[in-house]
Each structure stands twice: as C-alpha cells, then as structure tokens.
Structure 1
C-alpha cells in the first residue's frame, strides 16, 4: 500500500471510532500524535490527547447519540487526507457550554444535523492536525443559539 492508502486507512478508522456512533476513546492514544491539534469553527481549538478526549467526553455526554459519517470518498495527497462528512445528535444530556456562540441548558431535546469538510495532516502514521470547516450556522440555528433574520 502507498503512504496515501495508509493515511486514508488511519483517517477512516479515526472517523469511525472517534466521530462515529461507537466512540472508542482509546483510538485517541492509538492514532493521534501526543500534541495533535483539533480545530473546528464551533469550538475552541483543542491540543493534545487529554484535551481532545475531554472535549469528546463532554460533547458525547451532552449529545449521547452524537455521530458523524463520511459523505464522500476520502482524498489523500502526501501527508494530507480530506474528508466530507454529515452528522449530528440530539441534546438530551447535561448543560453544554463548549460552543463559541453560547451555551445550552441541560436536556433541551434540540437536534442538530449538519455537514462539513475536514483536512487532516499525518506524520509517521499519527494524526497531527484535524482542521474542519463545518456548517456551524445550521447547527447553531437548529439548537436555537442563533436566529435567522
């Protein structure tokens, strides 16, 4: 297999076990570099395995059915893999204050479903950066944190 194929296999596993419906926290230790950067427009950037696991633990506690899945084939070139995805969840858990635009009180019952594109950079088989551009406006509208005008 080529480097690109190996990188796509790593990212495919990351998308399934980190972002998918069957979250496996140990995948962070296996696939993420110790100082990995995770950055999306809805949240503060996260750096390092412990910070990334804490973020996902809080996110999944607030949205127990949280799940994202690929919406197209992964594209790889050199150290980079690009993926399109769709997903979301329903806020039935504790209060959640990780959105940059505002907070949710406990168990609002509001659902979000949105899309995005993510660029991941790998080095020596580990994910060192995950930078995503998501349709955060749709998610925040669905959650009632912003209003359409």
Structure 2
C-alpha cells in the first residue's frame, strides 16, 4: 500500500472507532500523536491524548447515541486526508457545558444532526491534527443555544 492508502486507512479507523457508533478509547492511543490537536468550531481546541479522550467521554455521556459517518469518499494528498461527514445525537445524558455558545441542562431530549468537513494531518502514521469545519450554526439552533433571527 502507498502512504496515501495507509493514511486513508488510519482515518477510516479513526472515523469508525472515535466518531462512529461505538467509541473505542484505545483508538486514541493507537492512532493519535501524543500532542495531537483536535479543533472544531463548537468546542475549545483539545490537545493531547488524555484531553481528547476526556472530551469524547463527556460528549458521549451527554449524547449517548452520538454518531458520525462519512458522506463522501476520502481525499488524500501528502500528509492530509479530507473527509465529509454527517451525524449528531440526542441529548439524553448529563448537563453538557462544552459548547462555546452555552451549556445544556441534563437530559433536554434535543436532537442535533449536522454536516461538516474534516481535514486531518498525519505524520509517521499518527494523526497530529484534526480540524473540523462544521455546520455548528445548525447544531446550536437545534439544541436551542442559538436562536434564528
């Protein structure tokens, strides 16, 4: 396999085991660089494996059915892999205060479903950066944290 194929395979596993239906915390240690940066517009940036694991544990506790899946073929070039996705979840868990736009009290029952594009940078087979460009406005409106004008 080529380097591009290896990078795509790494990202497929990351999307499946980190963002997919069932979270596998071990995937962070397996695929993330020790100082990986995870950045999405809805949340503060996260840095390092433990911070990223804590983020996902809290996100999935608040949204137990959280799941994201690919919406198009991955594109790879050099150290970068780009993927489009769709996903979301239902807030049936504890209060969640990780959104930059505000907090949710426990178990609101509100659903979010939105799309985005993620750019991942890999070095030596490890993900060093994940930058998500998402439709956060839609998610925040669905959760009642942002009102339509």
| TM-score range for the pair, normalised by the shorter chain length | over 0.9
Aligned residues: 149
Indicate whether 1:35 and 2:35 are aligned. Answer: yes
- CA root-mean-square deviation: 0.3
How big is the shift at 1:65? Answer: 0.1
Distance (Å, rounded) in 1 between the aligned partners of 2:121 and 2:48: 15
Aligned residue for 1:38, secondary structure, equals strand
Q: How does 1:1-149 map to 2 (within 5 A)?
A: 1-149=1-149
How big is the shift at 1:103? Answer: 0.2
Unaligned runs of 5+ in 1: none
User: Structure 1 runs of 4+ off > 6 angstroms?
Assistant: none
Distance (Å, rounded) in 2 between the aligned partners of 1:105 and 1:145: 11
Aligned residue for 1:55, secondary structure, equals helix
Distance (Å, rounded) in 1 between the aligned partners of 2:81 and 2:146: 32
Aligned residue for 1:9, secondary structure, equals helix
1:18-60 Cα offsets, whole Å, 9 max, x none, are: 0001110000000000000000000000000000000000000
